[in-house]
């Protein structure tokens, strides 16, 4: 959860910066459907997104900093509002914003394009919810998946047909997402912490051996080599 929040804060800052850079700080700009992707397939989603943002900016009273902006200035800039929206809503904001803004956000992550970032955020949203609600994490799988990456190939993850059998919608998919979205030193710290946690569990619990645990998590046996390869 700690590292999901790091990525979440980064995405919040990037999205609010680039959207405001293009459209300005007036809240009417992020409440205007004309400022989002005009593909008709997004129309209903954009309507729901704007309804959520409108409620938060103009009616919700749960956030003192938003209330202050509303009452004192009669305007809630996006860089203020984004601190009050869920990661799921943030992910949808990225999905529905225009491609030029998506591209600017994605360029802050090495070897990640705008469509891949959308996939990472979608999967990460599901895992964040599992963490936040204290549900079983190690065996959780999402319906959607992260993109195929160079790391899948270099780790020699087996395929079932054309689909990689691990690291797509399981816990290892999150490890791969972190490898692409976290700064290198943060990822090294995350990996060291995860390695220690797995070792501690295997040494103190007799309920599951390493092979079984790795199978549930979607981890290849050589997952520790993930930092040995370039992205």
Asked whether residue 113 is domain-assigned, the answer is: no
Asked whether residue 57 is domain-assigned, the answer is: yes
Give the number of domains in the chain. 2
Is pTM beyond 0.85 here?
Answer: yes
For residue 82, count CB atoms less than 10 angstroms from its CB and return exposed for 0-12, middle for 13-18, buried for 19 or more: buried
The percentage of residues in the chain with a pLDDT greater than 70, rounded to a whole number, is 100
47 closest CA partner among 78, 92, 103: 92
Of 79, 106, 133, the last residue of a domain is 106
Asked whether residue 8 is domain-assigned, the answer is: yes
Q: If you write DSSP's letter for every residue of 83-128 in order, what string do you get?
A: GGS-HHHHHHHHHHB-HHHHHHHHTTSTT--HHHHHHHHHHHHHHH
Q: Per-residue pLDDT for 155 more than 80? A: yes
Q: Which two tokens stand for residue 82?
A: 């984004």
Task: Tell me: do 171 and 207 sit in the same domain.
Answer: yes
Task: Tell me: do 92 and 10 sit in the same domain.
Answer: yes
Task: Tell me: do 172 and 219 sit in the same domain.
Answer: yes
Structural domain including 206 reads 119-227
Contact 58, 64 (CB under 8 A): no
CA 159 to chain CA centroid, Å, is 25
Task: Tell me: do 73 and 27 sit in the same domain.
Answer: yes
Of 106, 132, 157, the last residue of a domain is 106
Of 47, 73, 106, the last residue of a domain is 106
Task: Tell me: do 157 and 91 sit in the same domain.
Answer: no
Asked whether residue 146 is domain-assigned, the answer is: yes
Asked whether residue 41 is domain-assigned, the answer is: yes
Task: Tell me: do 171 and 89 sit in the same domain.
Answer: no
Task: Tell me: do 131 and 212 sit in the same domain.
Answer: yes
Task: Tell me: do 130 and 201 sit in the same domain.
Answer: yes
Asked whether residue 114 is domain-assigned, the answer is: no
**109-147 pLDDT, tens digit each:** 999 999 999 999 999 999 999 988 778 888 999 999 999
Asked whether residue 98 is domain-assigned, the answer is: yes
**69-101 pLDDT, tens digit each:** 999 999 999 999 999 999 999 999 999 999 999
């Amino acid at each position: 959860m700690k590292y999901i929040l790091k990525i979440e804060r980064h995405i919040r800052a990037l999205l609010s910066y680039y959207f405001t850079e293009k459209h300005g700080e007036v809240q009417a700009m992020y409440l205007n459907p004309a400022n989002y992707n005009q593909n008709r397939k997004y129309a209903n989603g954009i309507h729901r997104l704007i309804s959520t943002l409108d409620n938060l900016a103009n009616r919700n009273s749960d956030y003192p900093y938003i209330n202050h902006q509303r009452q004192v200035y009669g305007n809630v800039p996006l860089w203020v509002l984004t601190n009050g929206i869920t990661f799921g809503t943030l992910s949808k904001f990225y999905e529905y914003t225009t491609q030029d803004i998506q591209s600017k956000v994605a360029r802050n992550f090495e070897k990640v394009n705008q469509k891949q970032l959308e996939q990472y955020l979608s999967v990460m949203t599901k895992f964040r919810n599992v963490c936040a609600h204290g549900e079983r994490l190690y065996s959780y799988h999402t319906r959607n998946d992260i993109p195929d990456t160079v790391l899948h190939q270099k780790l020699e993850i087996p395929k079932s047909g054309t689909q990689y059998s691990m690291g797509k919608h399981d816990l290892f998919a999150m490890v791969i997402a972190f490898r692409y979205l976290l700064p290198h030193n943060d990822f090294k710290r995350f990996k060291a912490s995860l390695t220690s946690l797995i070792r501690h569990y295997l040494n103190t619990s007799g309920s599951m051996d390493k092979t079984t645990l790795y199978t549930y998590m979607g981890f290849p046996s050589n997952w520790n080599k993930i930092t040995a390869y370039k992205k």
